[in-house]
């Protein structure tokens, strides 16, 4: 059964390397040189082959310390992370490896010579136990990945629980086969076939989880794309609304000149009653078309006035200052609406949830002798700021949508080589948008 010994040992080494890769890949970024899977597979095969060679030496200490060194080299070459963080996760993973091996030695009463000598010859006597041990190790690693707060790839908990039914059932079948005391001593071919089936069961469980995980990622991506489309539709609607406000304001200014000419003509004819009628009509139109002038940029004016009206309706003090010339002809109208509209919308909604005064302060000014335009928006808030890998997201319940709004601002600023920074001090939130002047 020498070939079965080596086959089980080689498969065991490959599975261990894969578990190590899968575990670290879930928490750390791969180095730039190993972004392509071809290089990852090549290095993984080298490590698995080296581990296989160590086991062939039939030396317990060489196997243990050699595996520690090989796995550390593998993790260090593939993943970019601080030594401290890498060491913590490395210790966690190796503890799982050793814990599972110890558990199987105790529960399955594996012969002592296997523990003492780590003889590859003995693997043909316990192939199912070895495969079951690797499956248990994989299950524990998958559970840690799913419920760790720092995990980068987590599937929906309901889907994950459904997936767990398969590996747990597989593990139970492997263990029950062992405890059923089936004797294959006189039928070695059946033992080989059974071992091959269990090996396929182990690989199948790994592939099923990979498929479940990819499905979950695709669902998440699809949902995120739908949210982006919703946000873009909202931005387009808002853009059309701002354009409509601008057109009405231009029309009002144009009509005002005709009103004044008509009033002058009526005054020359002493038709005071007609003048009063026109003034009453003009007063109503003035009330309906009141717009504060913050900037010579009509789109910026429309945004600031619309957001000021929105803030006043919910009891938020809206304080604005725009330095003359700031943001003039730097960005397109659509991008200005995306950046300024999203930031002010988030600020107003957060401020109205504040416990004390509700305010939003907006400052738009030039910096470094006109080299940069800075948009600084400060607001108070209540509750907890939700963060993502890209930074702050929102205090709002629909964090997915509003997180996309912040991401949209960052992406749009990037088009102009600018950036968005967010800060929190107590209950005060500050967003600073910096755009360089070309």
The neighbour count for residue 136, using CB atoms within 10 Å, is 21
Q: pTM for this one? A: 0.54
Please check whether residue 24 is in contact with residue 78, taking contact to mean a CB–CB distance below 8 angstroms. Answer: yes
**Looking at residue 290, what DSSP letter applies?**
-
State whether residue 363 is helix, strand or coil.
strand
CB-based burial, 85-114: b 16+ in 10 Å, e otherwise: ebeebbeebeebbeebbeebbeebebeeeb
Cβ atoms of 405 and 231 within 8 Å: the answer is: yes
Tally of CB atoms within 10 A around 331:
23
Determine the Cα–Cα distance for residues 100 and 95; give it in Å rounded to an integer: 8
Beta bridge partners of 230: none
Are 198 and 149 spatial neighbours (Cβ–Cβ below 8 Å)? no
What beta strand segments (E) does 219-313 contain? none
**pLDDT for the residue numbered 98:** 84
Query: Strand 419-425 relative to strand 391-394: parallel, antiparallel, unpaired?
Result: unpaired
Residues 431, 343 contacting (CB under 8 angstroms): yes
The first and second tokens of residue 349, run together, are 């909604």
**Residue 22 to residues 19, 27, 60, 78, Cα–Cα distance (Å):** 5, 9, 26, 12
CA gap 170, 136 in Å, rounded: 10
- How many residues in the chain? 438
Q: Name all contacts of 280-283 with Cβ < 8 Å and 24+ positions apart.
A: 282/256
Q: What is the pLDDT of residue 257?
A: 67
Whole-number Å distance between alpha carbons of 129 and 56: 19
Q: What is the pLDDT along the chain (438 residues), one digit of tens a residue?
A: 567 777 878 888 899 999 999 999 888 988 888 888 888 999 999 999 998 888 887 777 778 888 889 999 999 999 988 888 889 999 998 888 888 877 776 665 555 544 444 444 455 566 667 788 888 889 898 888 888 888 877 777 887 888 888 888 888 887 777 777 776 667 777 777 887 888 888 888 888 888 888 877 777 777 777 766 766 676 677 667 667 766 766 666 666 666 677 777 777 767 767 766 766 666 544 445 456 778 877 778 888 888 888 898 888 999 999 988 787 677 887 788 888 888 998 899 888 876 677 899 999 998 887 788 999 999 988 776 665 544 555 554 444 444 556 888 888 888 888 999 988 888 889 999 999 886
Identify the pLDDT of residue 432. Answer: 92
Alpha-carbon separation of residue 112 from 5, 120, 134, 288, 294 (angstroms): 18, 14, 20, 91, 84
Domains annotated for the chain, with CATH where assigned, are: 2-229 (no CATH), 294-438 (3.30.565.10)
Whole-number pLDDT of residue 73? 92
- pLDDT value of position 374: 92
Instruction: Count how many Cα atoms sit within 13 Å of the Cα of residue 435 in the half-sphere of its side chain.
Output: 26
What is d(CA 208, CA 202) in angstroms, rounded to the nearest whole number? Answer: 10
316 Cβ partners below 8 Å, 6+ apart?
348, 351, 352, 358, 359, 360
Pairwise CA distance, residues 93 & 87, whole Å: 10
Structure tokens given for 51:
């581990």
């Amino acid at each position: 059964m020498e070939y079965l010994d080596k086959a089980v040992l080689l498969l065991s080494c490959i599975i261990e390397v894969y578990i190590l890769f899968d575990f670290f890949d879930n928490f750390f970024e791969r180095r730039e040189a190993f972004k392509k899977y071809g290089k990852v597979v090549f290095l993984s095969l080298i490590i698995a082959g080296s581990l296989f060679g160590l086991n062939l030496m039939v030396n317990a200490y060489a196997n243990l310390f050699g595996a520690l060194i090989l796995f550390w080299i593998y993790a260090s070459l593939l993943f970019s992370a601080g030594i401290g963080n890498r060491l913590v996760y490395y210790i966690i993973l190796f503890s799982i490896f050793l814990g599972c091996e110890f558990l199987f030695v105790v529960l399955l009463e594996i012969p002592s010579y296997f523990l003492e000598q780590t003889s590859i010859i003995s693997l043909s006597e316990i192939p199912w136990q070895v495969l079951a041990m690797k499956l248990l190790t994989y299950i524990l690693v998958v559970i840690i990945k799913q419920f760790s707060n720092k995990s980068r790839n987590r599937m929906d908990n309901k889907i994950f629980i459904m997936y767990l039914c398969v590996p747990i059932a597989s593990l139970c079948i492997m263990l029950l086969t062992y405890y059923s005391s089936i004797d294959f001593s006189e039928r070695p071919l059946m033992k080989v076939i059974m071992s091959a089936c269990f090996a396929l069961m182990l690989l199948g469980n790994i592939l099923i989880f990979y498929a479940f995980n990819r499905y979950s990622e695709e669902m998440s991506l699809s949902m995120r794309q739908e949210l982006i489309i919703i946000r873009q539709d909202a931005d387009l609607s808002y853009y059309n609304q701002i354009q409509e406000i601008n057109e009405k304001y231009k029309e009002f200014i144009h009509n005002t000149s005709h009103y004044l000419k008509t009033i002058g003509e009526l005054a020359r004819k002493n038709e005071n009653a007609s003048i009063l009628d026109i003034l009453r009509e003009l007063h109503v139109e003035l009330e309906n078309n009141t717009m504060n002038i913050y900037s010579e940029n009509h789109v910026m004016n429309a945004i600031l006035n619309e957001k000021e009206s929105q803030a006043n309706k919910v009891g938020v003090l809206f304080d604005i200052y725009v330095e003359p010339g700031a943001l003039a002809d730097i960005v397109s109208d659509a991008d200005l609406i995306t950046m300024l509209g999203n930031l002010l919308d988030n600020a107003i909604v957060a401020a109205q949830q504040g416990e004390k005064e509700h305010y939003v302060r907006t400052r738009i000014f030039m910096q470094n002798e006109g080299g940069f335009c800075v948009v600084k928006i400060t607001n108070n808030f209540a509750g907890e700021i939700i963060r993502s890998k890209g930074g702050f997201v929102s205090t709002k319940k629909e964090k997915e949508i509003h997180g996309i709004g912040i991401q949209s601002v960052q992406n749009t600023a990037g088009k102009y080589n600018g950036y968005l920074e967010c800060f929190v001090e107590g209950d005060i939130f500050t967003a600073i948008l910096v755009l360089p002047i070309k």
